Amino acid sequence: MWIKNTSGKKDAMLTFATFSFGVVTLNIFLSTISSISIGDKVFEFALMESGAMATYLAATFSAYVTRRWTDKKYIPSEEKKEE
């Protein structure tokens, strides 16, 4: 269920950041279409506020980058010896 990072470990933050990017991209795509008619039903799509999209992406990606930086900075001494 989780996406693996470059270290080969399952990574919840990377999964969430990827999901967030997909949600924002899908929202932008659907808002350019504006509406879809299927028979009698009309589905209309509104654009998310750009500030909300930027905040959503910035928070998830910065959390992922910060966690990766922390993992790299504080490698346990046993793992350092293996490298």
pLDDT, residue 28, reads 85
Identify the pLDDT of residue 39: 93
Query: Does an H or E element contain 5, and which?
Result: none
| Tens digits of residue pLDDT in 7-52 | 788 888 888 888 988 988 888 888 888 888 999 999 998 877 888 8
List the structure tokens of 31: 């808002």
Residue type at 41? Answer: K
